[in-house]
């Protein structure tokens, strides 16, 4: 493997990185490199053909190669970024000398990258590489089990992503496209907020009528937030919009929906806050603080406002649904 020059690399050998790498390795004539900091995971993939930490029962394709060696990235033309948003930028900085400046970065992570910036904004500030993003309703276990899965490929310049669609021909990955790069990134963060909302509602009421009433109001509020932050409304109807929102809000495998269920049942504590990966909690704080610079959040975005109160102070959760339903939309 040391003598091979990998043209396609994935940084991150967790669930999504392994799943996507395995799917690409099934159809690509060129081998796929999976880069990880976890030595045990690398050994398992290369010698046992399994990722025992994340997919212990699934045998991986022979074309998927794993490494901890940074220099193995140096010939990549496309690098998929499949590590958590909170560590993404610092990790890439630490391996900067080994990242080809012309390689296309494809962001798979959902969340803010550094402070109140999206990951792509941080990448563009720190690296010369062209960037794009892939976001959609995509549980990794479904991907690796070859269930049809949709992603939105967000880009700035179409010529930069010309090679990406061909990678997924004859796979279970279906792409749609958007040149609203900021909108795609913002929606991938917003869906976590409104998944928490739906979790709270479902924890308190076993009512399909109410669930889809709130789902509709949440979708409308997402549209207002998207517009406020410079995204386009039509992006809501890509896989990264309604599809990813509905998957995250209505499926019990979603971490942020689970957080909402815990809050709605009165089980939310600081211990729970640290145990769960709370993309939704972080996103609420960032959006609230940014919106409050120019307008009253409560007057325009009641769900974000109420979640901010929940995460900031003691809150009577029995008032949550009544409060968000009392908001009169224009």
Report, as residue numbers or ranges, the catalytic residues: 191
Query: What is the DSSP annotation of 198-233?
Result: HHHHHHH---HHHHHHHHHHHHHHHHHHHHHTT--G
Q: What is the CA radius of gyration of the chain?
A: 20
Query: Could you give the 3-state DSSP secondary structure of residue 50?
Result: coil
- The two tokens of residue 316 are 């009577």
User: Regarding beta strands 117-118 and 112-114, do their DSSP bridges make them parallel or antiparallel, or are they unpaired?
Assistant: antiparallel
Distance of CA 114 to the CA centre of its chain: 15
Q: How far apart are CA 37 and CA 67, in angstroms?
A: 8
Distance of CA 184 to the CA centre of its chain: 10
- Per DSSP (E only), the strands in the chain are 8-11, 32-35, 64-67, 78-81, 104-107, 112-114, 117-118, 131-135, 149-154, 173-178
């Amino acid at each position: 493997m040391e003598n091979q020059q990998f043209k396609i690399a994935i940084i991150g050998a967790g669930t999504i990185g392994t799943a996507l790498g395995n799917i690409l390795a099934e159809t690509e004539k060129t081998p796929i490199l999976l880069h990880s900091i976890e030595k045990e995971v690398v050994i398992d993939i290369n010698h046992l053909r399994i990722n025992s930490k994340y997919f212990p029962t699934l045998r991986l394709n022979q074309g998927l190669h794993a490494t901890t060696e940074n220099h193995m990235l140096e010939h990549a033309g496309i690098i998929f970024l499949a590590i958590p948003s909170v560590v993404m930028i610092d990790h890439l900085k630490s391996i900067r000398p080994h990242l080809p400046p012309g390689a296309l970065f494809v962001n798979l992570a959902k969340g803010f990258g550094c402070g109140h910036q999206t990951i792509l904004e941080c990448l563009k500030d720190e690296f010369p590489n062209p960037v794009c993003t892939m976001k959609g309703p995509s549980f990794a276990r479904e991907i690796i089990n070859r269930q049809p899965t949709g992603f939105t490929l967000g880009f700035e310049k179409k010529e930069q992503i010309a090679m990406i669609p061909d990678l997924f021909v004859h796979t279970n990955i279906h792409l749609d496209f958007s040149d609203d790069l900021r909108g795609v990134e913002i929606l991938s963060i917003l869906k976590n907020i409104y998944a928490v909302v739906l979790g709270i509602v479902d924890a308190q009421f076993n009512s399909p009528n109410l669930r889809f009433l709130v789902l509709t109001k949440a979708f409308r509020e997402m549209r207002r937030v998207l517009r406020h932050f410079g995204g386009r409304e039509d992006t809501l109807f890509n896989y990264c919009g309604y599809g990813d929102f509905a998957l995250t809000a209505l499926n019990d495998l979603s971490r942020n929906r689970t957080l909402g269920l815990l809050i709605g049942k009165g089980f939310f504590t600081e211990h729970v806050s640290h145990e769960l990966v709370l993309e939704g909690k972080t996103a609420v704080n960032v959006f609230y603080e940014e919106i409050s610079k120019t307008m009253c959040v409560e007057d325009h975005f009641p769900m974000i406002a109420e979640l901010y109160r929940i995460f900031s102070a003691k809150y009577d959760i029995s008032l949550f649904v009544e409060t968000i339903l009392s908001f009169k939309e224009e």
